[in-house]
Amino acid sequence: MDQYNTEEKALKLFKEQGLNAKENCIVALYKDLRKYSGFVAGMEYPYFGLLLNFTEEGVGLFYLVNPKILFKVNFEQAELKKDTYKFYKYEDIKSIEVKKFALLDKKRKSLIIKTNDKKKHFLYQYIDEETIPYNRENFAKLIEKYSNK
């Protein structure tokens, strides 16, 4: 987690990949395990979370993986895999949507990214996430922008 525990460190990671955006909205989100099942899904989406940077041109992402098998998944034990960096231009993204996580769950929101290459990233985050200092403010921006009100 030390690689991305401040917004400055996370921004540096994206800049090292050549992403020099003027507008950056960096968030870390968990993979929604309710939407994935089976061996193929585990191979196609081999992460427990994503570190995302929403820019004016598109979305950059890194996989977050858990080095140990733990019952509780959280960002404190997560490792960022630098070799998994991907960038999707907005024209390569079919849709980005923020929804309720569950009918009676007011603490979490889902973020769904569907790409033109038929990938679907089902993610979620706690609205009051405190593990990563910049998450709460930046996730609120995404909720405002992509929520289907």
Model pLDDT, residue 72: 64
Model pLDDT, residue 114: 95
> Domains along the chain?
7-18+25-146 (2.30.29)
Model pLDDT, residue 36: 67
- Distance separating alpha carbons of residues 53 and 91, to the nearest angstrom: 16
- Distance separating alpha carbons of residues 24 and 55, to the nearest angstrom: 5
Model pLDDT, residue 56: 96
Nearest by Cα to 78 from 35, 142, 29:
29
Regions of the chain where pLDDT drops below 70: 36-42, 69-73, 149
Residue in the block written with tokens 């585990």: 42
